[in-house]
């Protein structure tokens, strides 16, 4: 198992690569979507939370990530002595009509195929994604973690109607923010996922790239009145069983799984690691379950994180584990301190494995 750090787009700097290396990481997971575009950049080192209008504006629908920029990113990561393990999350501007089954679906399938080919050509082996209409929405922030550390949580269900001009908690069309999104059934959304996997996995395999699916965050059956796919641990099996491709893998988010109301996080991690379907792992801790939970310090929640690491190791997982989110610590570098704390804990956990 390898230790990695996830960095948002504006944090992909030589200084942060050095920080990751200094904290014991060997791998980087890079976000290329600017979640804060047109919105509040003041707290952009914390994870995005946003308003009823989401995090911000989706990117340029005509500008896909190129081989040149992906290669330059990989090289800058390698120059710091690290390996670029994955890109995390498609830009809603590039694939929203796959999620919404809209008129641009064919073009957007073409976009995803191009992006997967570009990743492969640039030597990046993994693409994390989250097949969700509403995305990561409905969370709150507060002094939820130990010592009053600012953290993220949920304080009840979140079902305000979703406008047609949004997808994946970002704005895709500002002219359609008062138009309601037509209703979608869970069966329709599962069908959209199955068609997506069928259409793009052959390209992923040919490019030497794995797709890795994040579960729903927060894992409720609906957010903004739209259905969710993987909101209980057993629903990850349904996703795996949709397509036997070895490129059909999981971005296993241990925190999100622990927030689910059914099942057992240890049994779930064992089930999916044993099947060799874990692409990479988000490791964080949490107190509570949906719709009322709070993200906590890695050593201070409902999850025995060291036991999770033991289970991954015992089942042969050799991929990358990243801290996902961490509470902000009181100092001049709240994000960095929180991540350094999580990475140090995880680095110690790695040393206990045998
Ligand atoms: Mn996660």
Q: Give tens-digit pLDDT for 67-87.
A: 999 999 999 999 999 999 999
Q: How far is the CA of 215 from the centre of ligand 1 (A)?
A: 8
CA of 43 to the centre of ligand 1 (A): 19
Q: 255: CA distance to ligand 1 center in Å? A: 7
Q: What is the mean pLDDT of residues 39-47?
A: 67
| Structure tokens that stand for 170 in this block | 């970002």
For ligand 1, the distance from its centroid to the CA atom of residue 162, given in whole angstroms, is 22
Confidence of residue 50 (pLDDT cuts 50, 70, 90): confident
DSSP string, 15-64: HHHHHHHHTT--EEEEE-S-TTTTS--TTTTSPP--BTTBSSB---TT-P
* Dist. CA 30 → ligand 1 center (Å): 13
Global model pTM greater than 0.85: yes
**Rounded Cα distance, 248 and 241, in Å:** 9
Please, are residues 254 and 281 in contact by the beta-carbon 8 Å criterion?
yes
pLDDT score, position 354: 76
pLDDT digits (tens, 9 = 90+) for 221-261: 999 999 999 999 999 999 999 999 999 999 999 999 999 99
66 CA distance to ligand 1 middle (Å)? 26
Q: Quick: pLDDT tens for 320-349.
A: 999 999 999 999 999 999 999 999 999 999
The Å distance, Cα 324 to ligand 1 centre, comes to 5
Cα 103 to middle of ligand 1, angstroms? 30
C-alpha 198 to ligand 1 mean position (Å): 24
- What integer pLDDT is reported at residue 42 of this predicted model? 58
Tell me how far the alpha carbon of residue 65 lies from the centroid of ligand 1, in angstroms.
23
For 150-169, write each residue's pLDDT tens digit. Answer: 999 999 999 999 999 999 99
- Give the distance (Å) from ligand 1 centre to CA of residue 237: 18
Rounded Cα gap, residues 302 and 286, in angstroms: 6
256 C-alpha to center of ligand 1: Å?
6
Ligand 1 centre from 179 Cα, in Å? Answer: 30
Task: Let me know how many helices (H) and strands (E) the chain has, helices first.
Answer: 10, 16
Which CATH topology does 2-351 take? TIM Barrel (3.20.20)
| pLDDT > 90: percent of the chain | 94
**pLDDT, tens only, 179-217:** 999 999 999 999 999 999 999 999 999 999 999 999 999
Going from N- to C-terminal start, the domains of the chain cover 2-351
């Amino acid at each position: 198992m390898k230790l990695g750090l996830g960095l948002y787009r504006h944090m992909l700097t030589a200084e942060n690569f050095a920080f990751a290396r200094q904290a014991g990481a060997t791998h980087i997971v890079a976000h290329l979507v600017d979640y804060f575009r047109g919105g509040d950049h003041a707290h952009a080192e914390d994870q995005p939370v946003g308003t009823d209008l989401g995090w911000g504006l989706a990117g340029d629908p005509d500008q896909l990530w190129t081989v040149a920029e992906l290669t330059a990113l990989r090289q800058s990561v390698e120059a710091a002595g690290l390996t670029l393990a994955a890109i995390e999350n498609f830009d809603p501007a590039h694939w929203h009509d796959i999620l919404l089954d809209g008129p641009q679906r064919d073009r957007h399938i073409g976009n995803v195929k191009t992006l997967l080919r570009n990743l492969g050509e640039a030597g990046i082996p993994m693409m994390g994604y989250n097949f969700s209409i509403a995305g990561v929405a409905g969370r709150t922030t507060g002094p939820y973690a130990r010592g009053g550390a600012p953290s993220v949580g949920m304080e009840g269900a979140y079902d305000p109607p979703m406008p047609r001009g949004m997808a994946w908690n970002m704005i895709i069309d500002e002219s359609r923010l008062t138009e309601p999104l037509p209703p979608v059934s869970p069966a329709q959304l599962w069908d959209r996922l199955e068609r997506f996997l069928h259409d793009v996995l052959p390209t992923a395999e040919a490019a030497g790239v794995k797709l890795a699916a994040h579960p729903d965050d927060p894992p409720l059956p609906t957010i903004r009145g739209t259905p969710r796919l993987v909101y209980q641990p057993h629903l990850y099996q349904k996703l795996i069983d949709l397509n036997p491709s070895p490129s059909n893998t999981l971005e296993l988010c241990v925190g999100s799984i622990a927030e689910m109301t059914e099942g057992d996080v240890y049994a779930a991690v064992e089930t999916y690691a044993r099947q060799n379907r874990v692409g990479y792992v988000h490791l964080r801790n949490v107190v509570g379950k949906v719709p009322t939970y709070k993200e906590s310090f890695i050593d201070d929640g409902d999850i025995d994180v060291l036991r999770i690491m033991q289970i991954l190791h015992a089942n042969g997982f050799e991929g990358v584990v990243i801290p996902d989110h961490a509470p902000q610590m009181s100092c001049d570098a709240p994000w960095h301190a929180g991540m350094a704390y999580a990475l140090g804990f995880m680095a110690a956990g790695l040393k206990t494995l045998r």
